Structure 1
Amino acid sequence: MSRSKGFYKLSILQCIGFGAGDLAQNLIYQTVSMYLLFFYTNVYGLNPAVAAIMFLIVRIVDVIWDPIVGTFVDKHNPKMGKYRAYLVLGGVPLTGFAILCFWNGFSGSLLYAYLTYVGLSMCYTLVNVPYGALNASLTRDTAEITKLTSVRMFMANLGGLAVGMGLPIVLKMFDPTETMDLSVNDSAWLYTMAIYGLIGLGLLMFCFTQCRERVVMDRNETKNVKVSDLWLEFVHNRPLRILAFFFITAFGLMAISNSAGAYYINYNLHGSATELSVFMGLGSIPAFIFMPLIPAIKRLVGKKGMFYIFLTTAIIGMGLLYAVSMIQFLKEQMCIVYVAQFIKSTGIIVATGYMWALVPEVISYGEYIHGRRISGIVNALTGIFYKAGMALGGVVPGLVLAFVGFDKEMTEQTSFAQQGILWLVAVIPVILLLLAMFIISHYELEDDVIDNINNQIEKRHNNK
């Protein structure tokens, strides 16, 4: 396909530059997903149920805020770039709020926790929604989008590895007295988040310099975009609806499983900080093996086949994690725990990583049926659903921990509390994995279909 028709080829540096944006965001997102609940309950001093309600309210704010951001982004054209400008404009305050969220200066203050977490979430949207729309503006070429997504998710999981495996190690550097549990030293958390936040900001700047927007609607076609278009897009774009529901289940199972990881190692298996670091790091390591193979795997088994295989793989891994906690002999075999975590993570990483390649497809489908490429609106909608999944990761663990009587002062939790942690690590995520399989089975945009759609769109533009 000719470049003039929007089917641009992307250099490896452009792919890496774009992926740097997701690496940056994951240094914050994964820290919040894996450790913010732990920080609130064990360092900041909030009751788990109170923290759970706060996570829910923040997500409700997102439901209102995301469409506003998506509409604003589609309607406006900043000089620094329609989408990439927000990597800078939103990146600076995002870094500031991320650091403040892990500051214990107002220990136990619910108001401070709300202000900083709401601010963090709003700034994250201001970066993430236009960033999500950015990949659809780089090219229409399906093969290039798959390559771009593979590099992007490779780097996103590099961020997950830096958080999952690296954060406990960095905390220990600032708190050498820590031995078994995650550090409860408030200064160690603040300094650690400051390092992660500032590195993330530098990566956002690098992403800004490497991305070039080529496939965007002109000002006249987007000037009448309004918030209500989000609802109309959702109603008329069936592939988008399917993808949106897949997002909520996928992010829900990831957030719930991730947030329970620290509790699982500390209280069910009585592991050390080093063992926790390895366990969390294994949540990202499979990406470096399998994400570069996604284009080949997809060619071999197709989109749906790839989803089915790897979602099933995740179920097998979670079944092993459940068995480890239920069989006394296996509790002492951390190597089996690591194998189970690796298997689970392999399935989740590939399935949830490739789903981002479907976003440009549903954007193109929307453009095909109504003539407008409203990438910001579409990413705002997917943002609402994946943040709803993140809400599950904040609300469900907090409520379950409160229900089973988790007590942070006890190094030896009751058997009921340990069972509740196990529900979060394996049982609830497996239910969501099965639901995700059912949802994705209804996705209809196979490669030949979407290629034909993109060609039809380009013919329209050439005939104008």
Structure 2
Amino acid sequence: MDTNLTKQESKGFYKLSWLQRIGFGSGDLAQNLIYQTIGMYLLLFYTNVFGLDPATVAVMFLIVRLVDVLWDPLVGTFVDKHSPKLGKYRSYLVLGGIPLSGFAILCFWNGFSGSLMYAYITYVGMSMCYTLVNVPYGALNASLTRDTDEITILTSVRMFMANLGGLAVSLGIPIIVAFLSPDGLTNTKKDGGAWFITMAIYALIGMVLLVFCFTQSHERVVMDKKETASVKVSDLWVEFVRNRPLRILAFFYITAFAMMAIGNSAGSYYMIYNVQGTPTEMAIFMGLGSAPAFIFMPLVPAIKRAIGKRQMFYVFLGIAIFGMGLLYVVSVIPALRSQIWIVYVAQFIKSTGVIVATGYMWALVPEVISYGEYTTGRRISGIVNALTGIFYKAGMALGGVVPGLILSFVGFDKSNAVSQSAFAQHGILWLVCIIPAILLLLAIFIISKYELTDEVIDNINMEIEKRNNKD
């Protein structure tokens, strides 16, 4: 048995220890402590605390994402072409992680309250540093092993850790900010100092976790320097055109991340103005957005073996849509909305579907990388992750623009910390339930076109290793 394992590992099908799996997953935990805080609460901070107009913030979010469209392929190309002494991919966990933490903290500093220029500089800086960490981190997954079962386990651990970060953000941020705030709230100008201290705590913890991920990640499936010398930015578009599974995954990312960005950024508004909830109740509601991960993500390998990955997407995307429908019904009936536990149940059901479906999609990235290597002979992991990064940030752009525009359209009053008009409340409800549900229906159609089954991808990986051994 040991001999068979050694033979398998010699062909690139490496097995990782649990410390290595957790170490790799800690990278996503770290990034989520920072980026989930940005995604969930920066809009609320900008409008109610920093003092910007929702429509102005929407335009800024769009412009920053356009900057990412130019920046991501440059990072992906640079990463594929260079091999730093600290590691081809893992070195950027430290090199990019330090400035990422700094810019994230500055995003929540109220020292230049109302300054659009300051908001642009800090948000653009944070986003560019996030790419410098996230693109190599995404490529790191495919460099650890070719084994599809191991990648499934790695993805489950990664998503478990990512949602641990999401839970720490969604549940912890409102409570800590309210505790540190002089008025005990999260959405007034008096709360600026509390937001700054809270983000500083989370960002520094994230930096430590990135260093831990760096120490536990060992790259063993990478191209040599001769193969990477010819990598160029245009490879990104060439790969997109000839790699059909990559195109399908890219469009799935757009819809999935748009759905998550819209729902996450609107959740705090929903609890404050629609439910009239306390900071603690908001924390519980937002926390339930991540809590199902600790029940269902460990079960993903078994669920996938039982029903297949495409059926798994169908089932859990359907569960998410059902949960959104239930949350809408609960919210439009005052007698039900006043029963906070029913709101929590609807949020839990919705989140269960979203977490499993969007969590497992990361396991498909190494598959499309292998498919590209099989058809072209080059394993350009950085380029592929830059391309998927462009599309998920396109989804984030859509998700960032829509809430600001909707809030502006429905006449959201940023100076009112307690209540909004009925029209504004319904606009918030559309952001939480209706628009995300429509996007998930589109996501179901897109993923139905994905054709790389486990059997197909295993055969592809075996063929690649046969070629490598001949060389």
Which bin holds the TM-score, normalised by the shorter protein? Answer: over 0.9
Structure 1 residue corresponding to 2:292, chosen from 280, 286, 290: 286
Contact 2:101 2:203 in 1 (8 A): yes
Q: Displacement, 1:413?
A: 1.0
What's 2:4 paired with? Answer: none
SS in 2 for 1:185: helix
Q: Distance in 2 between matches of 1:64 and 1:265?
A: 36
Q: Displacement, 1:181?
A: 5.4
Q: Distance in 2 between matches of 1:304 and 1:118?
A: 36
Q: Distance in 2 between matches of 1:192 and 1:227?
A: 38
What's 1:339 paired with? Answer: 345
Q: Distance in 2 between matches of 1:104 and 1:147?
A: 42
What's 1:61 paired with? Answer: 67
What's 1:427 paired with? Answer: 434
Q: Give the aligned length.
A: 464
- Counterpart residue type for residue 465 of structure 2: E
* 2:320 pairs with 1:317: no
- Counterpart residue type for residue 202 of structure 2: Y
String of CA shifts for 1:132-156, please: whole Å, max 9, x gaps: 0000000000000000000000000
* 2:411 pairs with 1:401: no
Contact 2:182 2:191 in 1 (8 A): no
* 2:384 pairs with 1:378: yes
* 2:237 pairs with 1:217: no
What's 1:462 paired with? Answer: 469
Contact 2:177 2:186 in 1 (8 A): no
String of CA shifts for 1:283-331, please: whole Å, max 9, x gaps: 0000000000000000111011100000000001101111111111111
- Counterpart residue type for residue 100 of structure 2: L
Q: Displacement, 1:409?
A: 2.2
Structure 2 residue corresponding to 1:192, chosen from 192, 198, 208: 198
- Counterpart residue type for residue 176 of structure 2: V
What's 1:105 paired with? Answer: 111
Q: Distance in 2 between matches of 1:48 and 1:119?
A: 21
Contact 2:47 2:54 in 1 (8 A): yes
Aligned ranges for residues 211-250 of structure 1 at < 5 Å?
211-250=217-256
Structure 1 residue corresponding to 2:83, chosen from 77, 84, 89: 77
Aligned ranges for residues 405-416 of structure 1 at < 5 Å?
405-410=411-416, 411-416=418-423
Q: 1:179 to 1:60 in 2, by over 3 A?
A: closer
SS in 2 for 1:376: helix
- Counterpart residue type for residue 39 of structure 1: F
Contact 2:182 2:190 in 1 (8 A): no
Structure 1 residue corresponding to 2:30, chosen from 2, 24, 48: 24
SS in 1 for 2:308: helix
Contact 2:48 2:189 in 1 (8 A): no
- Counterpart residue type for residue 309 of structure 1: V
- Counterpart residue type for residue 342 of structure 1: F
SS in 2 for 1:244: helix
- Counterpart residue type for residue 452 of structure 2: L
Q: 1:300 to 1:413 in 2, by over 3 A?
A: same
Q: 1:106 to 1:181 in 2, by over 3 A?
A: closer
Aligned ranges for residues 351-370 of structure 1 at < 5 Å?
351-370=357-376
Identity %: 75
Aligned ranges for residues 25-174 of structure 1 at < 5 Å?
25-174=31-180
Contact 2:316 2:356 in 1 (8 A): yes
Contact 1:181 1:272 in 2 (8 A): no
String of CA shifts for 1:102-133, please: whole Å, max 9, x gaps: 00111100000000000000000000000000
* 2:445 pairs with 1:441: no
Gaps of 5+ in 1: none
String of CA shifts for 1:238-297, please: whole Å, max 9, x gaps: 000000000010010000000000110111111111100000000000000000000000
Q: Distance in 2 between matches of 1:167 and 1:458?
A: 47
String of CA shifts for 1:394-415, please: whole Å, max 9, x gaps: 1000000000101022332111
- Counterpart residue type for residue 352 of structure 1: T
